[in-house]
Amino acid sequence: MSDIIQLLPDSVANQIAAGEVIQRPASLLKELMENAIDAGASEISVIVKDSGRALVQVVDNGCGMSETDARMAFERHATSKIRNANDLFHIRTMGFRGEALASIAAVAQVELITRTRDSELGTKIVIAGSKVEMQEPVACNAGSSFAIKNLFFNVPARRRFLKSNATELKQLITEFQRVVLTNPQIYFKLYHNDLSLFNLPPSNLKQRIINVIGKQIQTQLIPIEVGATIVNIYGFAGTPQSAKKTTGDQFFFVNNRFMRHPHLHKAVLNAYNKLILPDCYPSYFIYFEVNPETIDINIHPTKTEIKFEDEIAIWQILNAAIRESLGKFNVIPSIDFDTEGIIDIPVLGSETEINQPNVRFNPDFNPFKDKNNSYYSKPAPKNWEALYESFSGGAVSNRQSDGEEFFLSSLSRNDSNNEQLPLNVEAAVQDSYFQIKNRYILTSVKSGIMLIDIRRAHERILFERFLSFIQTKKSATQQILFPSTVLLSPENATVLKSIDNEMKILGF
């Protein structure tokens, strides 16, 4: 029997690796921006076209690469970050495995222009489908420029599985936010189809969060800072009033690397227990600094899942840190001992005489004899017996009782039209309603009673009205005298642009 096991060609192996590392255009952006940060760049520009399908370009002013390094960077497992297995336990850089560029070059058309600061000429390399098509010297600025064109051009099945342009652009913006929030000292720019989405100059951490998320979050951030032997935690958490029913502003970072951690997410939610509704999520931007030897970041191809050595202890420290910040900034009601001045607490000595407290009271006091006392019984209202006349003798009286008159008068007060209600109780209940705390309407139906949520009923009415506008493409509009300005985050602004036609049909 002949041998049947053989080694895969590098081009095929790179395409298989690309299936794990490069899932969508946002994956390209993450890997290229992390490489630019590792290169020591102080300014990084990102240019995207057609939501990353046509182009994802990252330009930096980092250290650049020599001609040999530029060619070697596209070889699989070629890296400058690690030399032996022990280096895996001391990783502080973003990339280290040397898989990203080889995977990208296997499923896209790549153009690299790079130059080191001490060289007069740079290098230009063009690769498509793992094949080097051109390599030549070129005049360029110091740093590197990676242009990734036509992602998945040679894997049409993968390209068909990409989502809509709006969805892919949203993923690109999310990945961009995760990188810029860990590097406030770097100048970042993001352009989509020649339109500037982000322009983030160097700033402190809080200002970077405000510039990325939006100005509305400025008054909603509570600082967090705690130090321990196993971990240092700092960052910001949102106030309970700013909690939303949708996720999106929840960020964990470990040694300046974004991570997902459902278990630590529960620690944050537990700290907000009884402060927010069960179906709401607070915003948080929490940064962990730990010894690289106590974490494992190599358990997932995208390096977004991290395993902690002391996970239980970090859970407790994080939970306590958020509770402390919420209490310190008066989000949680607490006793403020400083407002009462110095509290004199007597110290008992061995010779201190302890006296039993004396209680003084009047044994002859009767609260029911004092007419000025609130307990003094007031005379019963007149004709109170008429309320029970209809029950006397088991027969129902046709005459309206005083109790029914009081009931009907309360109904008429709750009727918005103030119309005269029928004289019988049954008809009054059927034709009227009660409004509870300006939020619910309680009314009767043939089979019983109905409780209506006013806000949701109003939303349903508007939804059906707008749906009819979209179906008929006709709506009544009226121009307002003074235009209203609406501030949106770049992420929401892109969503609004994607439904521009529908908004015009609705009258906006």
Domain 208-328 in this protein, CATH class: alpha beta
Task: Give pTM, 2 decimals.
Answer: 0.70
Domain with CATH 3.30.565.10 in the chain: 10-202
Residue 162 contacts residue 24 (beta carbons within 8 Å): yes
| DSSP assignment of 132-193 | EEEEEEE---SEEEEEEESTTTT-HHHHHT---HHHHHHHHHHHHHHHHTT-TTSEEEEEET
CA dihedral 24, 25, 26, 29 (to 10 degrees): 140
Domain with CATH 3.30.230.10 in the chain: 208-328
Q: Is 128 helix (H, G, I), strand (E, B) or coil?
A: strand
pLDDT at 183: 93
Phi, psi dihedrals of residue 354, rounded to the nearest 5°: -105, 120
Q: Which two tokens stand for residue 363?
A: 């044994």
CA dihedral 300, 304, 309, 312 (to 10 degrees): -130
pLDDT in tens, the chain (508 residues): 678 887 877 777 766 766 667 888 998 899 899 999 988 999 999 999 999 999 999 999 999 999 998 998 888 777 777 766 666 666 667 766 667 888 888 889 999 999 999 999 999 999 998 889 999 999 999 999 999 999 988 888 888 888 888 889 989 999 999 999 999 999 999 999 988 999 999 999 999 999 998 888 888 999 999 988 889 999 999 999 889 888 888 999 998 889 888 999 999 999 998 888 888 999 999 999 998 888 877 666 667 788 888 888 999 999 999 999 998 876 665 555 454 445 455 666 677 788 888 888 888 887 777 666 555 556 677 777 777 766 655 544 444 445 455 544 554 454 444 444 444 444 444 457 788 888 898 888 888 888 999 999 999 998 998 888 888 888 778 888 888 888 777 777 877 887 888 888 888 8
Instruction: Give the pairing type, strands 143-149 and 109-115.
Output: antiparallel
Q: How many CB atoms lie within 10 A of CB 246?
A: 8
pLDDT at 184: 94
Phi, psi dihedrals of residue 252, rounded to the nearest 5°: -115, 135
Residue 123 contacts residue 113 (beta carbons within 8 Å): yes
Q: Which two tokens stand for residue 236?
A: 């910001």
| 289: β partners | 232
pLDDT at 266: 93
Q: What angle do CA 16, 17, 21 make, to 5 degrees?
A: 130
Domain 10-202 in this protein, CATH class: alpha beta
Phi, psi dihedrals of residue 295, rounded to the nearest 5°: -130, 160
